[in-house]
Amino acid sequence: MRFLLALALVLPAGFASAASLDAQGADLLGKRLPDWGSDLRFVDAPAHRRPADFRGRALVIRFWTDGCGFCSASAPVLDDWARRYRDRGLVVLAIYHPKPPRAVSDRNVRAYAKRIGMPGTLAVDQRWSALERLWLRGEDRPFTSATLLVDREGIVRAVHRGGFLSEDGSDEDRRAARAFERAVRSLMENDRD
């Protein structure tokens, strides 16, 4: 109960539906998105960007990898949001992290993304440094395929613990995905330019 109360206090009006997200990532809610560091490489120019470069835009950040069933099942949902909310300032930032961590070419990342329909701005985190800074943070998290919702001011407003961001999976998976989708919808419908 204390967790839900704390979550309600950090979320602005209109984000009450995000309270049904589980405790994974609660430490990020209501805080500024950490800098992801200089190791994150964007597939399209410019190759290096900072979170501040996206200020004024809402971000859905999805960590993904090839061969991940959770990621391929979630790609259509992310694609829908990218198309539906692009004109309202949403950027889907799809951060590829190879398993195991290793060098990977931009050409391969584009091919992986195309194969599963992963939309958005593509970036590569070959050493998992951005994944560590933004999501793992020294915690033993069950998934690396997490998703963060960041508002126009750079504040994390919702966290999906990873796994299915779709109607696939267990009842718990579906509840978490629906809660995250409500948070995206609320942010995009209530936070106009």
Q: What are phi and psi of 42, to 5 degrees?
A: -85, 140
The string of pLDDT tens digits covering residues 56-97 is 999 999 999 999 999 999 999 999 999 999 999 999 999 999
pLDDT in the model for residue 67: 94
* DSSP H stretches of helix in 51-139: 69-85, 106-116, 129-131
pLDDT in single tens digits along all 193 residues of the chain: 333 323 333 344 344 334 335 578 899 999 999 999 999 999 999 999 999 999 999 999 999 999 999 999 999 999 999 999 999 999 999 999 999 999 999 999 999 999 999 999 999 999 999 999 999 999 989 999 999 999 999 999 999 999 999 999 899 999 999 999 999 999 999 865 5
pLDDT in the model for residue 23: 76
147-150 and 58-64 as β-strands: parallel, antiparallel, unpaired? antiparallel
Q: Is the separation of the CB atoms in 135 and 146 below 8 Å?
A: yes
Can you name the residues that pair with 121 across neighbouring β-strands? 93
Four-CA torsion 13, 19, 21, 24, nearest 10 degrees? 100
Where does residue 51 rank: exposed (0-12), middle (13-18), buried (19+ CB within 10 A)?
Answer: middle
pLDDT in the model for residue 186: 96
Buried b (16+ CB within 10 A) or exposed e, 104-121: bebeebeebbeebebbbb
* Domains contained in the chain, CATH given: 2-190 (3.40.30.10)
